[in-house]
Amino acid sequence: MSSTRRLSVLIIPLLVTGVVTTVLVDPASASVPGRETVSNSTTGPSATVSCTGDRWLLSSGVDVEGDGRRYVIVDELIPTLNSVTAYAHEYEYGTGESWSLRVWAVCADPSGTHRTSSESTASNSDNKGATVHCADDVVVSGVGWEIEGDAGQILVESAVPTTSTVTVDAYEVDAGGSGEYFGTWSVRAYATCVSRPTGYEILSTLSTSTSDEKLGHADCSTGKRELGGGFSVSGPRGRINTVALLPALTSALTYAHEVVPTTNLWPIRSYAICASQ
């Protein structure tokens, strides 16, 4: 996956040591002025991207690229006021195939109120979930997560936005045989919350259930722009790895792959958070 699929935007590449930064400038939008999409790509396990100028972050995205992507787990996608940081690690058996990490930020001019909220949970179970709430005067525009524990051992199965909440569910990787994980871990959910823009809506679409990899997308209503996205995978727990949550101009894109083969059918549900142009 690459930024070449995004049309009707101005692409401005900026070269940084070890990192390639791309800025995609959206045509002027009355509801979300100054909207831009910024990304950084690196061959390392972590990448950070910042909004340009004094813009605020609306949402976060991530994409593991390369032949080894199915074996790479995104442990963290952490938003701040104007930046996003992602961390990714190979699952415990590793891979000899190449891969790289790209992190995305959808940004806009400061307007109204902006908050980044988080909530974590921990238990002795092999699956955990956390829900974070926005305050009453703001709505969800983006999702994020953080796994605290051994890197590459925990799959984030869903990061689901509603108007006022983000819920993140995670499960230990079911690697089979001696691959069972006995360590302790917790999951933290992040929500980027902003003043409600005109035409705010959240839509979702379910992918097909066949094949060992799925490309999903959720489209905004006609005349609206995407602010952020989310996903939810249904199927054999601990075996489906979501390796991409991507912003596009009018839709949110997702991509998931079996990190451990399964004969069970499974779909991915994609969420698009949108607002009027």
* Extents of the domains making up the chain: 3-276
Sign of dihedral through CA atoms 217, 103, 10, 201? positive
Q: What is the mean pLDDT of the chain?
A: 87
Tell me how many degrees the CA angle 57-220-136 measures, rounded to the nearest 5.
50
CB 38 within 8 A of CB 50: yes
| Spatial separation of the C-alpha atoms in residues 277 and 261, rounded to whole Å | 42
pLDDT band at 10 (very low <50, low <70, confident <90, very high): very low
- pLDDT at position 15, please? 34
Task: Dump pLDDT digits (tens) for 145-194.
Answer: 999 987 888 999 999 999 999 999 999 998 765 556 777 889 999 999 99
pLDDT in tens, 45-54: 999 999 999 9
pLDDT of amino acid 71? 94
Nearest to 47 by CA among 6, 82, 77, 24: 77
pLDDT band at 27 (very low <50, low <70, confident <90, very high): low
Residue 274 is inside which H or E element, if any? strand 268-276
Its pTM stands at: 0.88
Contacting residues for 136 by C-beta, under 8 A, at least 6 apart: none
Convert 91-119 to b/e letters by CB count within 10 Å (16 or more is b). bbeebeeebbbbbbbbbbebeeebebbbb
d(CA 34, CA 91) in angstroms, rounded, equals: 38
For the cut 80, the answer to whether the pLDDT of residue 8 exceeds it is no
What CATH code would you report for 3-276? 2.60.120.690
The neighbour count for residue 52, using CB atoms within 10 Å, is: 16
